[in-house]
Amino acid sequence: MTSSHSEPEPGALVDLRSDTVTRPTAAVRAAMFEAEVGDDVYGEDPSVAALEARALELFGGPGSRLTTALFVPTGVMANHIGLRMNAGPGDEVVCDADAHIVAHEDANLAWHAGIQTRTTLTERGQLSVEQLRRLIRASGPYVVGTKVIELENTHNRAGGTVYPIEDLRAIRALADEHGLFVHIDGARLCNAAVATGTPLAEYGKIADTLSVCLSKGLGAPVGSVVLMPAEKREEAKVMRHRLGGGWRQAGLLAAAGKYVLDHHVDRLAEDHANAKLLADRLRGNGIRANVPETNIVMIEVADTVKTVTACRERNILITPAGPGVLRAVTHLDVTEQGVLEAAAAIADCA
């Protein structure tokens, strides 16, 4: 660990709503301050180029279809561009019914691209080969053909669950058998890699396109990368521009992204340990909580509004995640002390 914030005062705000709330550390701000920049729409920003090269080094490599990385403003845009490199109007993407692309991306595939999503309920947010065999359809007259399998790893709404790499490999083999593309929403792929010890590149090998967020637990202020085959790069850049994502001296942000890829991946283990601590404490107080695989704790309470409101009064922020369920997410700005305070407050207010 290289650059956490200093230990907060007891009673200070503990924000467990999401790992998107992290603020840049002094070291991240220094990297941004020192960044060399140019106009990225002209392809002239050296800090963007350095981030993209680093992302490719981590998530691509021998045997991978991912041979270029593109820096984009958000995870939503990264997923959108990635999926559109594989599918167009009238095509179908199959995914879990609670996937982020379905629940939280404003139906952008339908809105902007005429792409249909077909969903199925899953265990732990994970599609199985058996389910996919039932879902996949070959296109033909009067038949909407499946084009893409979309997988979310880790899965947000399922509570930070991690796909076993063998299952991903089996899905990749199935996709090859049917001539389908695989897009991974890897907003929190680094959490998956740290939790399992599986190298990032092994996950990368599964995907035709892969999105990774720099601005979640990794702690960059803004930004995602989307990886794809190099021959798609120009088309993806046009798509990014069409979506309003042609950015100029983006190197200031890319420098933050590169810094966190270089320095904040391994420390995600601390967030996982804090999530486990929180869940253990809650269960010790008779509250039902998942056994977190990464940094997301799902907590069952009778009245979510009451608990969220009462916790807020004690400077603990958590989010309702569905009927009777709260979500707490650990991250760079949450310390062990904060987690212990949160556990006590949630137990008192449940």
Ligand X SMILES: Cc1ncc(COP(=O)(O)O)c(C=O)c1O
Where along the sequence are the contacts to ligand X (CB under 6 A)? 20, 74-76, 79, 100, 152, 156, 185, 187, 213, 215, 224
CB closer to ligand X out of 192 and 346: 192
CB closer to ligand X out of 61 and 221: 221
State the nearest-atom distance from the C-beta of 21 to ligand X, in Å.
11
Which of 217, 83, 103 lies closest to 157 in space, CA to CA? 103
Which amino acid appears at position 189 of this protein? L
CB closer to ligand X out of 76 and 256: 76
State the nearest-atom distance from the C-beta of 243 to ligand X, in Å.
12
CB closer to ligand X out of 167 and 280: 167
CB closer to ligand X out of 217 and 349: 217
Residue nearest to ligand X (CB): 75
**Contact at 8 Å (CB) between 292 and 268?**
no
CB closer to ligand X out of 100 and 147: 100
State the nearest-atom distance from the C-beta of 182 to ligand X, in Å.
16
State the nearest-atom distance from the C-beta of 215 to ligand X, in Å.
6
| Cα→Cα distances 302→15, 287, 325, 336, Å | 21, 10, 8, 26
**Contact at 8 Å (CB) between 26 and 3?**
yes
What pairs with residue 93 in β-bridges?
117, 148
CB closer to ligand X out of 44 and 167: 167
State the nearest-atom distance from the C-beta of 126 to ligand X, in Å.
13
State the nearest-atom distance from the C-beta of 173 to ligand X, in Å.
24
CB closer to ligand X out of 74 and 330: 74
State the nearest-atom distance from the C-beta of 32 to ligand X, in Å.
18
State the nearest-atom distance from the C-beta of 22 to ligand X, in Å.
12
